[in-house]
Structure 1
Amino acid sequence: MGCEDSNTLEYSKTLGVSTTPIPGFLRVDLTVHGDNRGWFKENWQRAKMVELGVPDFGPVQNNISFNDEAGVTRGIHAEPWDKFISVATGRVFGAWVDLREGPSFGAVYTCEIDPSVAVYVPRGVGNAYQTLEPNTAYSYLVNAHWSPKAEYTFLNLADETVAIDWPIPLDHAILSDKDKLHPRMAEVTPFPTGKQRVLVTGSNGQLGRELMKQLPAAGFEVTGAGHVDLDITDAAAVQAFDWSGINIIVNAGAWTDVDGAETDEGRKKAWACNAVGPANLARVANQYGLTLVHISTDYVFDGTQSPHSEDEALSPLGVYGQSKAAGDMAVTSATRHYLVRTSWVIGDGNNFVRTMAGLAARGISPKVVNDQIGRLTFTEDLAAGIIHLLSTKPDYGTYNLTNEGEAMSWADVAKLVFTGTGHDATQVTGISSAEYFAGKVAAPRPLNSCLDLTKLEATGWLPKPTIQRLHQYLKA
């Protein structure tokens, strides 16, 4: 299927975007303004074109192909990046074949391109171009830097199954020796549709380790980055990082020493990790069209509302909460973001449940605060909930994510841990926060950390009950 050819450049067409038989491949009609001096056009206009449906694909390189003669024919090449193709001078006949694995494999679209027509070509769709006039130049924006390591998929220009009707027969056209040797369709290995590629920052933490385990099992390609691999607080390092192979960032790193954040040194580290780092990631997410997932906390609230909804005004009490709130605000500047707000995280590492189990095992009777209430969040479910958002792609924005169940105090949790490990729950003594922190340098804490899960559950994901997960965790 193709569009009608025309030798006359059409001026003042309305900018428009239309679909084609190849999924994701778009034809763009451009507005060209002309008079006796020549013509002018907006070749790529991000705001207008994105509004009409062209993906905001984040081009990073602009290439121009100049051809002296009519009949120069190149292709059919499927590259591992997206492209926006347009003509500067002359005319070309374009032919595209879907070489991606899947039901549309082999679908064909042909179209003549002059300065008033452009096309958006998704990665994995094979492209070929034949110049129809001498001195033809066409340009293409791509969203990955060219690399000699890039893997292409090829199809022979003369393949009988796609049967492209070349305006200039191939035996009269100008072809490279390499293009003549490309395989027929029966020999083509389909271009892999590609797993989403995820970078997990803070990959050595409790949640990071769980994400590194669950993401590959859910069909994602995942790369972990600890502080040594990528210092997100360093804007220059974040900009210099190679983002060309990444689709999604999950920022699981944070400064979580709540009391330490109240010290002179800790305050600087908390703000760098929790506010500056997310701002740097939001900047590159917008720059390269990436999805940013950021983990937030109940500490951005003062604990006076119950439960806390996603749209509640931020009201942090201490430095830690203030730095996380600043990070939240920075993350919302990313066009594609999921801000996941959670509380009382328990996973593979040092945490409250492990501490209580250790005290029980050593016969120590702890005093635990009984006026701070909330819900535990097990990293198994936190990671699964994040993957649910990435897989089902509900509207971008903020989502609360904890385990389900009745709110409990820290003392209640401690008693369940003692009971679950075969010890006497009466060994746990509940005391007020004021009593517990008397005489200590400590950050203020929200007394109510319960998060409203209605929005998340409306997407079709139901977190497991807290009690069930706690029992499983203690057995493991």
Structure 2
Amino acid sequence: MPKDLAVYTTEIPGLLVIDIPQHGDNRGWFKENWQREKMLAAGLPDFGPVQNNISFNASVGTTRGIHAEPWDKYVSVATGRIFGAWVDLRAGESFGKTVTVELGPDTAVFVPRGVGNSFQTLEDNTAYTYLVNDHWSVDAQSEYSFLNLADETVAIDWPIALKDAELSEKDKNHPRLAQVEPLAPAPFLVVGAKGQLGRELVKQLEARGTPYLAAGRDELDLADPDSWVQAYRWRSLRGIINAAAYTAVDQAETAQGRADAWAANATGVAALARVADQAGVPLVHVSTDYVFDGSLPLGQEYAVDAPLAPLGVYGQSKAAGEMAARSVARHYIVRTSWVMGDGKNFIEIMKSLAERGIDPTVVADQHGRPTFTRDLAGAIVHLLENQCDYGTYHVSNTGDVVTWAEIAQAVFEAGGHSADRVSPVSTADYFAKAEVFAPRPTNSAMDLSKIIEAGFTPRNHREALADYLGKSI
């Protein structure tokens, strides 16, 4: 009787053994070696293979490895039998853990990036096949790791003694485990790394020891895809976080601003979405409350699936960027509002005015919640690190819905100044003399239940403001 399709875990995290149904008659046998829909349903990751390789081995005892490569592999046997051995060479608690399995045509193994792969043939004329999810390149070789087949620490019990086996000279001279540098996880790419959110993302990834690449506008100008589409090995990334955007809301209403906003927020995001989807890596795209018109009655909050209805050019270009990001199979759209972080922001402006004795007029008919970059970056890292369900999330700080004027008053009070120095004003009056200004949503309150249900609860915005001011005063 043929085996049923089944996937089994092993002692090495992410290393999976797969039973493959094999059907035969007097003519021979047939199997579906890789059937994406069925195998995903059985529990295999959707690793997106792009290259199929075959290693033919004429004699019993041919032994190859132990090679850890910077991509995932799906290994199987077309004909013959092998003794396979896998050693975890990734940084972490399972470093050096070993799993061995005998493979024939009815068994396969999924090998995650950084796990050393090796085998020894048990029959003549054995064909060993493997699918990989990145194209081989000379550049990729610098990310390889190797372990000696005879390493005494992992002590693989080879069926045929290595002294009697067929090995290459290179394989004979690979280092022992004590000399192997553990392979770090693939890095995240932070686009817009020099902005308020980008800097906080880099800070948090660094604190966690998570590998990352930081690309500011000098390294990756989102509005100029021709300059960067070929600049990265996209498949070598663990994910892409797009924290870059054109955010000059009022300037976007001018002729040049309109072109610039669409170039960065729509066209550039579409290019980023294409490379992410082709590479099979997750894309996090940060969006905004400005994709809504703010007409929702006060007291209600925008759901993640609320219809988009942007009022101005900035919101329209960001809505277009969302459409592009949504085309990526593995995407997170993270909408946020009223962002405050390291750099020039509303809080810093209010602090400066208070200290200089200037009494501001501040808009009091726009309602929402501020978002501190510590919480926004934390939510993004949480989604990626925990492989949460893909889709759209709203992230701001929790707490009561407030106005810009109320935030300004809180800043004044925290600095020992009278809140009465802040004069509330309507949006219409505030911009009455402005030559160019963008319409703003009246209600920017967003429903945060989805990110909370995913296991991340942002701080109350009043607590976050006190923490921010305590560090900055």
* Normalised-by-shorter TM-score class: 0.7 to 0.9
Is residue 285–residue 334 contact of structure 1 (8 Å, CA) maintained in 2?
A: yes
> Judging changes above 3 Å, is the alpha-carbon distance between structure 1 residues 26 and 391 closer, same or farther for their aligned structure 2 residues?
closer
Among residues 451, 458, 469, which one is paired with 1:456 in the alignment? Answer: 451
Shift, 1:274, TM fit = 1.5
Distance, in Å, in 2 between the alignment partners of 1:172 and 1:417 is: 77
Distance, in Å, in 2 between the alignment partners of 1:396 and 1:382 is: 17
Aligned to 1:95: 85
Structure-1-length-normalised TM-score: 0.86
Structure 2 counterpart SS, 1:357? helix
> Judging changes above 3 Å, is the alpha-carbon distance between structure 1 residues 184 and 433 closer, same or farther for their aligned structure 2 residues?
closer
Q: Give CA-to-partner distance per residue, 1:170-208, whole Å, 9 cap, x none.
A: 3332112333344566x464734x345221101111111
Is residue 231–residue 238 contact of structure 1 (8 Å, CA) maintained in 2?
A: no
Q: Say whether 1:76 aligns with 2:71.
A: no
Aligned to 1:361: 355
Aligned to 2:167: 175
Structure 1 counterpart SS, 2:143? coil
> Judging changes above 3 Å, is the alpha-carbon distance between structure 1 residues 39 and 239 closer, same or farther for their aligned structure 2 residues?
farther
Distance, in Å, in 1 between the alignment partners of 2:182 and 2:88 is: 9
Distance, in Å, in 2 between the alignment partners of 1:179 and 1:38 is: 35
Q: Give CA-to-partner distance per residue, 1:351-410, whole Å, 9 cap, x none.
A: 222222233333333222211111111112222222233333432222221122222212
Shift, 1:77, TM fit = 2.7
Aligned to 2:414: 420
Is residue 145–residue 180 contact of structure 2 (8 Å, CA) maintained in 1?
A: no
What letter is aligned with 1:164?
D
Structure-2-length-normalised TM-score: 0.87
Shift, 1:340, TM fit = 1.6
Among residues 306, 324, 334, which one is paired with 1:330 in the alignment? Answer: 324
Is residue 339–residue 397 contact of structure 1 (8 Å, CA) maintained in 2?
A: yes
Distance, in Å, in 2 between the alignment partners of 1:277 and 1:38 is: 52
Is residue 95–residue 164 contact of structure 1 (8 Å, CA) maintained in 2?
A: no
Is residue 89–residue 135 contact of structure 1 (8 Å, CA) maintained in 2?
A: yes
Is residue 71–residue 172 contact of structure 1 (8 Å, CA) maintained in 2?
A: yes
Q: Say whether 1:258 aligns with 2:252.
A: no
Among residues 390, 395, 413, which one is paired with 1:396 in the alignment? Answer: 390
Structure 2 counterpart SS, 1:199? strand
Distance, in Å, in 2 between the alignment partners of 1:139 and 1:232 is: 39
Distance, in Å, in 2 between the alignment partners of 1:184 and 1:418 is: 63
Distance, in Å, in 2 between the alignment partners of 1:59 and 1:436 is: 56
Among residues 122, 145, 149, which one is paired with 2:142 in the alignment? Answer: 149
Shift, 1:297, TM fit = 1.0
Is residue 148–residue 172 contact of structure 2 (8 Å, CA) maintained in 1?
A: no
Among residues 273, 278, 289, which one is paired with 1:282 in the alignment? Answer: 273
- Give the aligned length: 462
What letter is aligned with 1:304?
S
Q: Give CA-to-partner distance per residue, 1:436-462, whole Å, 9 cap, x none.
A: 222532221110111222222333433
- Structure 2, unpaired ranges of 5+: none
> Judging changes above 3 Å, is the alpha-carbon distance between structure 1 residues 429 and 45 closer, same or farther for their aligned structure 2 residues?
same
Shift, 1:251, TM fit = 0.8
- Structure 1, unpaired ranges of 5+: 1-9
Structure 1 counterpart SS, 2:270? helix
Q: Give CA-to-partner distance per residue, 1:9-65, whole Å, 9 cap, x none.
A: x9x765443334443222334456777887665543333322322222233444332
TM alignment of 1:115-154, pairs within 5 A: 116-144=106-134, 145-146=136-137, 147-154=140-147
Distance, in Å, in 1 between the alignment partners of 2:221 and 2:63 is: 46
> Judging changes above 3 Å, is the alpha-carbon distance between structure 1 residues 298 and 61 closer, same or farther for their aligned structure 2 residues?
same
Q: Say whether 1:219 aligns with 2:209.
A: yes
> Judging changes above 3 Å, is the alpha-carbon distance between structure 1 residues 156 and 138 closer, same or farther for their aligned structure 2 residues?
closer
Distance, in Å, in 2 between the alignment partners of 1:163 and 1:353 is: 61
Q: Give CA-to-partner distance per residue, 1:308-341, whole Å, 9 cap, x none.
A: 2222222211121111122222223333322221
Q: Give CA-to-partner distance per residue, 1:279-328, whole Å, 9 cap, x none.
A: 33333333223222221111111112222222222221112111112222
Distance, in Å, in 2 between the alignment partners of 1:378 and 1:450 is: 15
Distance, in Å, in 1 between the alignment partners of 2:312 and 2:328 is: 26
